[in-house]
Structures are given as structure tokens and as C-alpha cells.
Structure 1
């Protein structure tokens, strides 16, 4: 068995609390001593001009197209949805939204990484702003560090505003500087905005688990996140925009200009050698072209290599990005009743006296209504006593519960796995079926791959339905990052939340709940093959845990955490019990 590389990092601030090695502690102390002469603080009396989503989306081409398709489907107040399972589909859909936007683009993310996939999105955002589109980017502050801070340069360009949510004072030169800045109020620094939204003209939007960066779009050098998004159209998008506005206009949202100058942002960028700079440029272009070239499409006329415009036209929203191909029939949507579950910004403000039910509270309520079965996909699954009790009651009523989460080897945050491991045997005892993602996937389409073949297009357009859903991972190593629930084969929930205490108590989250047997069945057809062929099934047998190898893998069953190195297993045993699970 081969240990997985620890190259991906969990989107959380958990490093603020866990024990650190002696050398890191020494560095931390040195940094603290260096900063004692003048503790950083956030600016006061910040000017935050209030702005809101586009009030009349029907005045845009996207809005009119959504209206036309809604009327043709007799949708009424229902909203339209399309699962975006493949990395190529998820990426080109975002690019196409940028291309199609006429008046507004609103992006809300926990993290935006400076790499090839983001470079192309940033370039397209600049082009949109130049043609008069108002661009608002709301970004959690924690990871705006070093080279990843370069996206903040957009804030100094016309028609583009960026606000940083819940900023941590102090240096942005490294994550160590972030940790030092958090020491003034560690409890507040732990609360992070984890929401993910990408909205064009308040008419179409994308929600789900992905941040922006190579590893989220199948372009990671060594490992990639397995993720799931949903494209939304119609009334639900206006709900998403209202949630965005509530965070954008919140006192915790600081315009970049109040925290940094353009020169200070530029100083955080690494200066490569001339050779390295050229290599990086070549790599960026080749990766971006590869992503576009891999967009699901029919071969171009004459068998020639597809140009960028042709690749865009073949993406799920490409028809909306090219005026001559505005044809909503190429974007089949499932129309269904839906609601948005969203945490209020007050959760991050730490207003305990006026706490409202959270997204995870809402999910617990929905679980208790399940009659037959529930499928849970959560990368970081730390149920806590309350959720465990809910699941026990469900099992007593005969509800089948299946959970797909990360294995120790595939988990980008092994200490988060420690919280899950505490509950594993008790979950098995009450009859919960546990599946743990294997980091080595069998092929490009084995992780939530092309299992929606032939569904939903009605006209046999292979470029938009069927195998066009693509794969989630561009390479063989994978880490589960999708967050979804399917209840009774009729309710589907997709969002940014994990089923853990961090999502319940610390992070703000957002999710879409769709009541649609069609979407539920499509989701299950995407997920279930991975559970069988890309995950270990865990069983308690004769008082010990057994990991049954994925079907067709040819691997033996295991009685220890499969694929994990000895050091990881020791970490789980020794450090894991010390970690407070509400921070995992």
C-alpha cells in the first residue's frame, strides 16, 4: 500500500489550536516577539458603500433566457437545476457565466488560490469589468496570504470591488503571520465564512463545495478534490443573491483598500527567475488550454483542434457565452421546488445572545423526517452526540443510512479524521453503513464520473448530457470534498457544509435543498458507483474494524487504516484524542 501525499489542506483554521512541533513553536514565539512592538489592529470607521444584487435580472439576456425556458417548462415558481459533477464542466460553466454576464457578477468564496485555473478566471473577470459589468468578490480573509493574495489586485481596477470577510490583522507574508495576527482574538479568528457562490446577472448561479483553484478543477499537480456543484436558475438565484448581499454589506466585510495598498499586495508576490517565469507562463497557458480542450464537446467541423471559442461553445453554458448560439435547449434544466439554507452573518460575528438555527441544524431536522433511506457525502464527518442520537432514532425506525467520507489516507486534514474515528464504531453498532474514499481512484471517471449517461437531454446531444459530465479528478489521487445529502430518493441537498461541529458552530455555510426525484436519482447514480469501486466499506467484525477493498480493485481487505503511512496512523492514535472536535 502506498501512502498518499499530504499536499492538500482543509479549508479551516484548525491549525490555530492544535499542538505544534517544537521548531514551529519556536518560530511562532520569535514572530510574536518581533511583533510586540506594535500589535496590528483593524481599521475603524470603514466606509462600506451599500450595494445590492441586480433588481431586474429579466433586463439581461441571461434573465430573459431563464424566463423563456421556465415558461416553456410551465415551471411557475419552481427553479431550474443542473448537476455539475465533472471538473471540466464545473470550470467551463463558471467561465461561461463570466462571458455571458451583462450587468453583474457576484462571487463569494472561502479561498481563491493563485494558479493556472484562477489566472484564466481572473483574466475573464477583468474583461467583463471592461465591458461594463459590475464585479463584486467577497472573500474570506484567512488564506489571502503570499502569492494567493494577488487576486486582491483586482480591487484596484474599475468596476471591480473586493471585500475581505472577518479579516485577521497583521502580516500576510505567510500563514505564520496569520496565526500571530489571530492571537489577539483566537475565538473570532476561528469563525470563517465558508460559503461558495458564483452568480451572473442575478439570473444564474453556481453553488456547492468548490473553492477556486487547480485542485478543485482536476488540474492539481499531485492530488485533486472530488467535488459536486449545482447550477441554479430562476427564483432560487434571487435568494442566493440576498444571502450574498447580507454578507457584502455586513460590518465584518472590509474593502481591500482599507487594509492594503496595491503596492503592498504586489510585494507579496514571489519574483521568479526569468527561466522560471517563462516556465510558469507556459504551464499556465497549457493548463488553461487543457481545461478548455477537455470541455465536453462534439468534434469541431473538419476534425480540427477546437479553438477557445469553440471549446467555450461546447461547455454546459457555452451556448450562453456565444451570441450566435443562444439556445437554452442545449442547457437542459430540471425544474423543482427548492429552498436555500444559509447561515446569517451574525454567526461569524459571534452574537451568541441572538443565535439563529444554523444550516446544520436545518439538516438535522430534515434527517428526522426521512422515511426510507439517507445518503450522506461529507469529507469531514464528525457527527457529535446530537447527530449520533438522531441517526440512532432513524435506524430504529428502519431508515437505511449510508455515509461516504474520506479515509485517513485521502483526508487532507488527518486530524479531522480523528474526530470521525471517535464515532466510527458507535455508528457501525447502530447500523450506519460507512464508506471511506480511497485516494487512488481506478480511472479518470471513477469518482462521481459519467454515470448520468443518456439522462436529461431529450435530444441526444452527447456534448451536454451523457458522458459530458466528465470526471472530478484529473489524476489518480483524490480527496473527497463534496458535501451532499439525498433523502428518500426525492430530496437533494448540495452546499458548502460538512456534517461536523465546525460547520455547525464555527463556519458560515450555505446549501440548496431541491425536492426532485429526478435530481435525487441522478445524484445517486453519480455517487453510488464510487462507493462500490472507489471506496472502502468499513465493518465491525469480532470486535475489530475491517476495511473491505473496493470492488474490482484486486486489493486485500485490511484491519488497519488502508493506504495510510505509519506516521499518519500514529498521529491518529496519539494526537487525535487531544483535539477538541468542535474545531476539527
Structure 2
């Protein structure tokens, strides 16, 4: 079987080389043509490659924007107004200048104060910007009041993330747009993960985008803007390029041909499908006690495990049926290892408090828990651009991934917690590929090393201990390490309240 797979991959590369030689130089208009040619060699399969670092993620988006000839659809929970956020906005404007139709769909959670900027982007004839579930109050106290008044509706967020070009290639995963997601932040960077995909699954991602783009919950960005003066975007490209260059980003050579020359030939072709949560109905808003489609799909997937489950989740809260299922799997001999944030690495103390409230129950269910160290040795190996790891503890987990039996892979926006299960709209890309599973498992296990995470155990008295290695020596802590007294107190304080569903 491996022999035939190698021959098939060799044939695919030969076809791609012929396409390249007969169409030099590589042009942006070739993107759909070449992905269709590659897909034809693998009927029913999608081509997948791992996007494992922030630097890779920005390069891929940059290159795909340059290669676009028809359309770009970008859907994000957060799009920061920092160097990389401005740079990608400028790259989309450059594509629009070439005649590419650009659609940007943002959740309202991080839009506050930027309505005028988004309206200015949408003023371009080839750019449309829409806001999902916008608060009636657009700034200051009125915005806060809107959150309080419409709590049930405002609490339903679009947590999906995708970047789709020409309906031919998409990037799906847990990464938002911002310096800390692209290895560019000088203080703190996230460990995240995505998959770049070509083939049939791209149509499924586009269907998810359309469900939100046309939703009654979505509004035109210009309809949310006040009478504030328009933002001048004429110098955005030069200024943003200077900003990301100063932070260490270097775009690849031959941007428009980068995907075809560097990525397409290395895709892993495998069965893949996307599951997404649609915008909720009024009835679902009123009653949020039913698990959503992504949660149900992942629950069924986990139940099929026979030997091993390996997972990363930035925010982790398992209760009720999930703990019962974990206990059943443990009794059946399935090893379950899960990495999440420690109190020291978590960017949200409230979220950690929910996890800590149920940490002992998860251990009792047979889950091996690991918590990321903010000074993880792996940080220096994984963060390609920023030198933050060399200067101070500066590492946090943001990935959402799952591997079953070293064969089936989930990568997406879904955290293993109650908010993702019941409230947020999420996406899950599921791929059946031992080759991809081994790649992601190796990536995960790098952070499970004792120089990069704490293993949470019970000591002889039944109390929790955090076990790690420093300079090759085992170190044990009896309280949450590298977190000051005030942070530990705050976490314990929040644990008194049953807020897990909203964290």
C-alpha cells in the first residue's frame, strides 16, 4: 500500500512540475486551475498541510492573497489593529485593487471603536465588510449596557476562523489575526495550529462562511459606523509593511507563486470533512442547554478511540457526560493525554478558574493532564520570529486539536469546554490520515516534554502536585507554579461561582 501511495504522490508531483514548466512564470490566475488538476488525481480526497507556526501562518495568508484572482473570504473572531492586522488588511486591499472580490466577516466582540475604519475598508468597490451579532451600543458605556441588556443574544459569538481564496484553498484552525498569533509580539506569543486545505472540503468551508454572511445576525460594517470621519487608507500598505518588517517578518519570494511552488506538491491527500455550527435560531438563543453540532460530532469521534487520545485545548472544562465517557475510555485501556494552559500561561484567569474547579474530577476520570509552562523550552524552538522567549516567560497555548489512535485528526476553533459546546459557533476540520496524525502528534508531544509543561499528579496525601524539569532536575510544586499569590487568590475566588458555561 505504501508503495502505491508513493507512486501516486510521485505522479502528482510530475503533473505539477509539467504545469509549472508550461506556464512559467507562475501567475496568480493559476491557483484554481492547479488545485483542480491536483484534486483530479485524488478523487474524493482533500489535500492538507499542517500550518504549525505563526510565521508560516502569516506567509501562507500573504502568498494566497497575492495569488488570488477571483475572491477572498476571511472570517474571524478577532482581527487586531496591530502591525499584522494592518498588514493583512493592506494585502486584501491590494487584491481588491486587482479586481478580486474581498469579503471580511468579523465577530463584534473585538470591533469596538473601529467602525469607521471598517467602513472605510468597505468603501472600496471590491470590498465588503460585515459584522456578526453587533451590539446596539457601539462604544463606551452604551456598549457595556447593550451587553447586559441583551446577554443571551450577545453571549452567542462567532468563534469560527477561516481564510479562503478563489474557492480553491482555505486555512482553517484556531488562529485569529494579530501579532501574538503570528510570532511577532515582542512580549507574548500563542502556540496555535491550523490546516491549509485544497479539494472538496473547501466547498464545505465556503458553505459555512455563507451561512454567517447571509445570516440575519449579520450587519454591514458601514451601517454600524457613526458620523466619524473616514479613515485614510492610502498609505496603509507601505506603513504596515514597514511595521511587520521591523518586527522581523520577511515575506516569501515570488509571493503569487509561493503556494504552487512550495506548498501544493507537498499536500497530504486524505478523506476530510468540515463540521460547523450554524447561527442560532431564536429558540436556541432562549434555550442554550443543547450541545451544538460540532460538540456532538467530536463526542461521537472520541467514543471510537481504541488506544490513545492526544489533545490540546487552550481552555479545558469537562463535566458530566464528558467525564463519564473519559472514565469509560480509561477503563477500556485508552490512554488520554491533554495539554492545556497553566494559571501562569493562561491569558484569562477566569477561564483557568473554571478548569481548576474540575481539574481533580478530570484526573479521577483517568485523564493525564499537562499544563503549559510560560517559559517552555519549546518556545525557543517554535516561535520563529519574535525573541520574546529569550527574554522572559512569554508563551501561551491557543491551539485546539485532537488525535485519535494516531490516525484521525481534528483541528479547528472548538475548545474542549462548555462555551464551545453550548454557546459559541465553532468549526471542526476532521481528517483521516495517519501521516498527518503523526506530524501533529510530534508537534503536540514537544510541549508535553518535562522542560515545557507541568504534569499534574496526586501525591501520597491525595493532593495535587505539579511536576516538571529545570536544568535536567525534577522539580515538584504543591501549588500552581510561576503564579503569584494575587493571581492564585483571584483564580480561587472565581472558582466559587458556577460560571463554567460562560468562560
* C-alpha spacing 1:422/1:361, structure 2 compared with 1 (3 Å): same
Aligned pairs for 1:414-453 (under 5 A) are 414-442=349-377, 444-446=379-381, 449=382
- What is residue 102 of structure 1 aligned with on the other side? 69
Using the alignment, how far apart are the partners of 2:230 and 2:362 within structure 1? 48
Among 245, 265, 282, the residue aligned to 1:288? 245
- What is residue 560 of structure 1 aligned with on the other side? 479
| 8 Å Cα contact 1:153/1:262 also seen in 2 | no
| 8 Å Cα contact 2:174/2:193 also seen in 1 | yes
- What is residue 223 of structure 1 aligned with on the other side? 188
- What is residue 500 of structure 2 aligned with on the other side? 581
| 8 Å Cα contact 1:319/1:328 also seen in 2 | yes
Using the alignment, how far apart are the partners of 1:118 and 1:539 within structure 2? 40
| 8 Å Cα contact 1:208/1:229 also seen in 2 | yes
Q: For residue 292 of structure 1, give the secondary structure of its aligned residue in structure 2.
A: coil
| 8 Å Cα contact 1:444/1:471 also seen in 2 | no
- What is residue 363 of structure 1 aligned with on the other side? 298
| 8 Å Cα contact 1:113/1:148 also seen in 2 | no
What's the offset of the Cα at 1:156?
A: 1.5
| Residues 1:319 and 2:258 aligned together | yes
Using the alignment, how far apart are the partners of 1:474 and 1:226 within structure 2? 14
Higher strand share: 2
| 8 Å Cα contact 1:444/1:474 also seen in 2 | no
- What is residue 63 of structure 1 aligned with on the other side? 32
- What is residue 536 of structure 1 aligned with on the other side? 454
Cα deviations across residues 74-102 of structure 1 (Å, max 9, x unaligned)?
Answer: 31110000000111100010011110110
| 8 Å Cα contact 1:65/1:328 also seen in 2 | no
Using the alignment, how far apart are the partners of 1:365 and 1:245 within structure 2? 26
- What is residue 178 of structure 1 aligned with on the other side? 143
Using the alignment, how far apart are the partners of 2:287 and 2:423 within structure 1? 15
What's the offset of the Cα at 1:183?
A: 2.3
Q: For residue 266 of structure 2, give the secondary structure of its aligned residue in structure 1.
A: coil
Among 474, 485, 495, the residue aligned to 2:402? 485
Residue segments in structure 2 that go unaligned for 5+ positions in a row: 1-27
- What is residue 296 of structure 1 aligned with on the other side? none
| 8 Å Cα contact 1:441/1:478 also seen in 2 | yes
- What is residue 44 of structure 1 aligned with on the other side? none
| 8 Å Cα contact 1:120/1:288 also seen in 2 | no
| Residues 1:337 and 2:271 aligned together | yes
Cα deviations across residues 191-242 of structure 1 (Å, max 9, x unaligned)?
Answer: 1000000000000000011110111111123111110111010100011001
Using the alignment, how far apart are the partners of 2:380 and 2:116 within structure 1? 33
Residue segments in structure 1 that go unaligned for 5+ positions in a row: 1-58, 270-276, 294-307, 321-325, 450-469
- What is residue 46 of structure 2 aligned with on the other side? 79
Kindly report the root-mean-square deviation, in angstroms, between the aligned alpha carbons of the 2 structures: 2.7
Question: Normalised by the size of structure 2, how large is the TM-score?
Answer: 0.87
Q: For residue 327 of structure 1, give the secondary structure of its aligned residue in structure 2.
A: helix
Question: Normalised by the size of structure 1, how large is the TM-score?
Answer: 0.75
Cα deviations across residues 109-165 of structure 1 (Å, max 9, x unaligned)?
Answer: 011110111111111111111111000011001211135873442112111001100
Using the alignment, how far apart are the partners of 2:448 and 2:172 within structure 1? 23
Using the alignment, how far apart are the partners of 1:347 and 1:369 within structure 2? 31
* C-alpha spacing 1:96/1:121, structure 2 compared with 1 (3 Å): same
- What is residue 214 of structure 1 aligned with on the other side? 179
What's the offset of the Cα at 1:396?
A: 1.1
* C-alpha spacing 1:356/1:149, structure 2 compared with 1 (3 Å): farther
- What is residue 22 of structure 2 aligned with on the other side? none
What's the offset of the Cα at 1:287?
A: 2.7
- What is residue 413 of structure 1 aligned with on the other side? 348
| Residues 1:112 and 2:46 aligned together | no
- What is residue 414 of structure 2 aligned with on the other side? 497
Among 124, 127, 131, the residue aligned to 1:164? 131
Q: For residue 382 of structure 1, give the secondary structure of its aligned residue in structure 2.
A: coil
- What is residue 3 of structure 1 aligned with on the other side? none
- What is residue 464 of structure 2 aligned with on the other side? 545
Among 425, 449, 452, the residue aligned to 1:508? 425
| 8 Å Cα contact 1:80/1:233 also seen in 2 | yes
Using the alignment, how far apart are the partners of 1:102 and 1:344 within structure 2? 28
